[in-house]
Amino acid sequence: MTFTALRFDVSADEAECWSDALLEAGALSVDATDPRIGTAEESPVWGEPAAGPREWWPVTRLTALCNDDGQASTMLHDAAAAVARGVPSFETYRVADRDWVRETQAQFAPIRIRDDLWIVPSWCAPPRRDAINVILDPGLAFGTGSHPTTRLCLAWLAAQDMRGVSLLDYGCGSGILAIAGALLGASPVVGTDVDPQAIVASRANAAANRADARFVHVDALDAGRYLRVVANILARPLTVLARIFAARTQTGGRIALSGILANQADDVMDAYAPWFDMACARTEDGWVLLDGQRRSDAR
């Protein structure tokens, strides 16, 4: 059996409404990608974004799957009417029926952070059963260990002596950093995010790993201070949050900031300089992790 894929580009800020309209019009699925990575078939993982912050996408490529060419045309016209836009330029191509679940799972193998710390999808056997194995599947929240920024944070946590150390994971996504910290011995561990779905995902992942970590929406976060704070977000929000993170970090405690490109590092370090002694601790594929220690003489 084969299907028809309908592909066209829209402005990034309209991608979600177009996706909803296509699904309402009968699409079997809708995939959104950065056009820079080529077609959905050529992408290493169908729908996986190119490396880099999503806010850089001025255009989003939508690929909707349907049963045949006739349905594709009708579906696109119905969707255009629903979003009150003209019918965009588009193309169609045939897609053979495949075991999409198995092929998607095949893209995700265990990820080594170091010999004694691995991120392992639930369908894979841990490469080392005597290691700390964080069981985590790709899901709705960011953080599977596959992106350099996440690996940088995990390596930073693994290099710390986390036993009995309080940890705050700000912008927890899937909860991967908080869970890894808890399994490394941190306590208490708190994760927080502005996205309610991230809190749901984090709690489920923590339960699956039997990790003693608490996850709350950022509005429900208490006023505690922590010996370790980790945030894998983006440079701009990290800069804005500098004063807040300073208030969350105990004197002498350490902070790890990731989601920062190499050419953004100096600006982020300048924002934290009033409270922290900052340094560029780790780099990978053009991304950096900044490490800072909270000074006793800071406000």
pLDDT averaged per 10 residues, the chain (length 299): 89 90 92 65 34 56 88 93 93 76 65 92 90 84 79 95 97 95 98 94 95 96 95 95 96 96 96 97 94 85
What does the pLDDT read at residue 42? 37
269 residue type, one letter: M
Residue from 91, 11, 95 nearest 59 by CA: 11
What does the pLDDT read at residue 41? 39
141 residue type, one letter: A
Contact 186, 228 (CB under 8 A): yes
Please return the burial class of 13, using the count of CB atoms within 10 Å of its CB with bins 0-12, 13-18 and 19+.
exposed
Residue from 186, 247, 194 nearest 213 by CA: 186
Buried b (16+ CB within 10 A) or exposed e, 208-239: ebebebebbeeeebeeeebbbbbbbbbbeebb
Give the C-alpha separation, 132 to 70, whole Å.
52
Chain segment 236-253, per-residue pLDDT in tens: 999 999 999 999 999 999
What does the pLDDT read at residue 200? 94
Q: Can you list the domains of the chain with their CATH numbers?
A: 2-104 (3.30.70), 142-294 (3.40.50.150)
pTM: 0.68
Cα 153 → chain centroid: 12
Q: In what order do the strands lie in the sheet with 117-120?
A: 111-114, 117-120, 132-135
Give the C-alpha separation, 185 to 158, whole Å.
10
Give the C-alpha separation, 212 to 209, whole Å.
9
Tokens 């005597």, located at residue: 130
